[in-house]
Structure 1
Amino acid sequence: MMETLFYPEGHRLNAPENLAAISSPAALSEAQRAGRILESRALMCDGAHNLLVDLNGMRGLIPREEGALGIREGTVRDIAILSRVNRPVSFIVQDFIREEDGRITALLSRRAAQELCQREYIDKLCPGDVVPARVTHLEPFGVFADIGCGIPALLPIDSISVSRIGHPRERFLPGMDIRAVVKGRDRGRINLSHKELLGTWAENARRFQAGETVGGIIRSIESYGVFVELAPNLAGLAESKENIFPGQQASVFIKSVLPQRMKVKLIIIETFDSEPRRPRPPEYFFTGEHMEEFLYSPPESEKIIRTVF
């Protein structure tokens, strides 16, 4: 993957070079000449859906049609603008105008920043590229994440982790910074995956030993046993037990770890209900910038689980 100069919104907000560029009209003019992408916080959205932006005392204005890619064409709803209030926005300075009261207003374009990001970065991404992303909002079917200048990508729920979950909020919070791998494109939008970065079966199983009693989460109850999540990419199978329910916390005894069968056998000691835990930032086993494939299965296993990008 190429070295990127494009990041999710908020990444450059407090960077020294960004703060310097919005510190004065002269610095903003220089950034305009260079075509630099800057960031600041949107203060409000007026009745015409223009965004007002804080520029260190100077007024910045992002006209509605410059608020996001697709607004002008009608393919993106205005919620893409309204939802940026009190949040960082990326923009390119386009002009300066003098208001009737003598104040100078900088005309800004978030759309132009997104067009540049799309052309120079997102259009060049390939399957297997690992990118930084920032979670913007959660839906039952998956996660929308900003992969550059506010441009969204979709991370489906079944690609978040090997261990299945009921809702993305079990893993993520809006505003959380994550890494994700490019899986492909659907009608121009990048589709992401995440589970390939969370470690193989062997990498996760290595943390657990037979004879230990550890914590887990009841994920599903089947006729042949109960699946208990030990880690986002590792679940074990326990014998059935009465009065247990998906989503409960559990303490489980590890009977055996069987790489050949890719199984962790468990005994449920106790289950209990608790308040939902605040998701913690993911722990990544893969820290590179590109992967050609991901082999989840251990070498000893006859069953092959593989993702090829």
Structure 2
Amino acid sequence: MSAITPAENPELWSFLELLQPGEVLAGTVAAIEPFGVFVALDEGPEHPVFPGVGFIGIPELSWRRFEEASEVVEVGQRVACEFLQFDTWNGEARLSLRAMQPDPFPVFADAVAAGRVLEGKVTKLVPFGVFVQVADGIEGLLHLREFAGEPVESPENAVRVGDPVRVVVTATDRVRRTVSLSQRQVPTGLR
């Protein structure tokens, strides 16, 4: 596909150039694709190629983990999104749905200090450990070296997705938005 040009679509271009970052735009989810969601905006023209002038990339859908965009939105659903930028190649408004939701990370980081014992659920296995959901919208990494008991070479040998685990928060990094966890550091009486 070639770039959408101002000469070919002056009405679209004029509309998109007037949008300001942070502006809230409303519309209807027009299509869900593996790479993101198209939104038919209430204001503005039709798009010459895509099912909507607005586009929400996968990372901008939600603060929470999900496998498919259809877990967050559905075709025909009304949405209000924050305008991020004008994509001049595709001639579309890049949008964020998650910007309209409170970010759970700062609240978690303020409330949960290192050393706190939490109950969680394994959400994903990776070669170097597992991700554990420790609060709504918050996951932390339990590295293989932090598993309790005998050394573990592969997470599949110790846990499965969905397993409950008790962990200690060892660190939170506000800039990188990460939470480090340990089972080894859980006090013996709480294991």
TM range (shorter): 0.5 to 0.7
Residues 145 and 202 (structure 1), Cα distance of their counterparts in 2 relative to 1, 3 Å cut: same
Correspondence for 1:256 among 157, 169, 180: 169
Alpha-carbon distance in structure 2 between the residues aligned to 1:208 and 1:176 = 35
| Per-residue Cα deviation, 1:104-127 (whole angstroms, up to 9, x for no partner) | xxxxxxxxxxx7xx6997653212
TM-score, with normalisation over the residues of structure 1? 0.38
Question: Are 1:182 and 2:76 counterparts?
Answer: no
Question: Are 1:211 and 2:117 counterparts?
Answer: yes
Alpha-carbon distance in structure 2 between the residues aligned to 1:171 and 1:217 = 20
| Per-residue Cα deviation, 1:224-259 (whole angstroms, up to 9, x for no partner) | 211234444x321124532656xx434342411633
Larger radius of gyration: 1
Alpha-carbon distance in structure 2 between the residues aligned to 1:137 and 1:175 = 8
The residue number in structure 2 matching 1:138 is: 32
Alpha-carbon distance in structure 1 between the residues aligned to 2:112 and 2:79 = 25
The residue number in structure 2 matching 1:170 is: 71
Partner SS, residue 156 of structure 2: coil
Alpha-carbon distance in structure 2 between the residues aligned to 1:252 and 1:147 = 44
Q: CA RMSD in A?
A: 3.6
Partner SS, residue 212 of structure 1: strand
Question: 5+ unaligned residues in a row in structure 1: which ranges?
Answer: 1-74, 76-114, 268-309
Alpha-carbon distance in structure 2 between the residues aligned to 1:217 and 1:173 = 27
Partner SS, residue 226 of structure 1: strand
Question: Are 1:224 and 2:128 counterparts?
Answer: yes
Larger RCO, structures 1/2 (Cα 8 Å, 6+ apart):
2
Contact 2:13–2:91 under 8 Å retained in 1: no
Alpha-carbon distance in structure 2 between the residues aligned to 1:206 and 1:166 = 28
Cα distance, 1:155 vs structure 2: 0.7
Cα distance, 1:183 vs structure 2: 1.6
Contact 1:225–1:237 under 8 Å retained in 2: yes
Cα distance, 1:148 vs structure 2: 1.0
Cα distance, 1:154 vs structure 2: 0.9
Question: 5+ unaligned residues in a row in structure 2: which ranges?
Answer: 1-8, 47-51, 145-154, 184-191
| Per-residue Cα deviation, 1:262-292 (whole angstroms, up to 9, x for no partner) | 424265xxxxxxxxxxxxxxxxxxxxxxxxx
Residues 179 and 264 (structure 1), Cα distance of their counterparts in 2 relative to 1, 3 Å cut: farther
Residues 144 and 207 (structure 1), Cα distance of their counterparts in 2 relative to 1, 3 Å cut: farther
Alpha-carbon distance in structure 1 between the residues aligned to 2:111 and 2:13 = 43
Identity of aligned residues (%): 22
